[in-house]
Amino acid sequence: MHGVTRTVVGAVGDELTHQTLENLVNQFPQAVESVMPIQKRFKLVSREAHPANSTVTLRDRGIVVGGRKIQIMAGPCSVESERQLLATAEAVKAAGATILRGGAFKPRTSPYEFQGLGVRGLKLLAKARKETGLAIITELLSEDHADLVGECADIIQIGARNAQNFQLLIAAARTGKPVLLKRGPSMRIEEWLLAGEYVLSSDNPNLLFCERGIRTVETYTRNTLDLSTIPIIKKESHCPIVIDPSQGCGRAELVMAMCKGAVAMGADGLLIEVHPNPAEALSDGAQQLNLEDFARLMSELKPFIAAVGRE
């Protein structure tokens, strides 16, 4: 992990005794400043391992997540058609988003609900990427599709339902693309950090945590969006954190307020569902913003972004 003043090398595997570690430093006095055993169960994702914030750079896109600029990832829940995707892509780009979201493989609760366009959806995302220059984030559902999704995506999304599917996490990490790891609906923060550890320990340093709400007693909202994860992840980890208020609330009218709160609390990015005609969406219609409301959200967010000294 490269920082401004030092490079941290994380050694994982069988634990060594402190004495063995000391011997290691003594062998390479010019190269190794110090050796530090990390007591936490999560090691490479921990702030102890890497005191500075880490940033995730999207290759060939010039987009940095975790830097001064708050990155907005926006687009439909599901890729439905060329027209729907391109209209959304143009609109979110014009409003200031840098990354286009859209599910090609959808993890639906019922097998009778729209499952996504699959490979055809990936091709449409590739087309939108080429035509607009937006980077792409899309979900990986199966290890079998890792190469396919890895080719098309600038960021691979691991969905809430798969947040502890460790073989899938390893397969995503091995594509070499940045991985956005959603928090599972019933996951504790330590479990989430440990799931992230699977990515970093698979030789992929480019991990984003994404809070999308957890299941609680509340039914007014689809999930309970836990914004306390922002300061907690910032304290425990160096990895950037993204907030998804769309799955988080399940209601379009709450998205604006949750985005303002997330920005004020230090989120590094927002993942927002946007659809040209939410009433006719094939998935998650109630929580998707229409194009006008998204543009309004982006302009209303500006003073909040400026207030925290970000762009």
Q: Does 74 bind Mn ion (CB under 5 A)?
A: no
By CB under 5 A, is residue 77 in contact with Mn ion? yes
Q: How far apart are CA 193 and CA 64, in angstroms?
A: 21
User: In terms of CB distance, is 50 or 273 closer to ligand PEP?
Assistant: 273
Sites for ligand PEP among residues 177-206 (CB under 6 A): 182
- Cβ(302)–Cβ(311) below 8 Å: no
- For Mn ion, the closer of residues 62 and 107 by Cβ is 107
Token pair of 142, please? 């199966």
Q: Identify the residue among 272, 284, 297, 301 touching Mn ion (CB under 5 A).
A: 284
Minimal distance in Å, beta carbon 128 to ligand PEP? 17
Q: Which CB atom, from 107 or from 176, has the smaller least distance to ligand PEP?
A: 107
Within 8 A by CB and 6+ apart from 182, the residues are 157, 158, 159, 160, 163, 210, 211, 212, 244, 247
159 binds ligand PEP (CB under 6 A): yes
Task: Find, among 78, 72, 74, the residue nearest to 285 by Cα.
Answer: 78
Q: Which does 212 bind (CB under 5 to 8 A by kind): ligand PEP, Mn ion, none?
A: ligand PEP
With respect to Mn ion, which residue has the nearer C-beta, 198 or 294? Answer: 294
Helix (H, G, I), strand (E, B) or coil at 101: strand
* CA angle, residues 145, 143, 268, in degrees to nearest 5: 85
Contact set with ligand PEP (CB under 6 A): 77, 103, 107, 159-161, 182, 212, 247
Residues in touch with Mn ion (CB under 5 A): 77, 284
